[in-house]
Structure 1
Amino acid sequence: MAEKIGGLHIQYYAVCKRKLWLYSKQISFETEHERVIEGTLLHENSYKRKDKELMVDEYAKIDVLDSDYIQETKLSSKMQKVDELQLLYYLYLLKKRGIEKRGKIAYTKEKKVIEVTLDEEKETMIKKTIAEVYKIIDQEYAPKLKKLSYCKSCAYYDFCFSIEDGEEDAT
Structure 2
Amino acid sequence: MAKNYGYYHSPIGLLEVIGGQEIIKISLIENVGNRNLSLDSSNNPIVSKCIKQLQQYFEEQLQTFDIPLVIRGTEFQELVWNEVAKIPYGEAISYQEIAKRINRPNALRAVGTAVGKNPIPIIIPCHRVVRAGKSKIIRFGWGKERKIFLQNLEQKKN
TM-score scaled by length of structure 1: 0.30
- Largest Rg, 1 or 2: 1
TM-score scaled by length of structure 2: 0.32
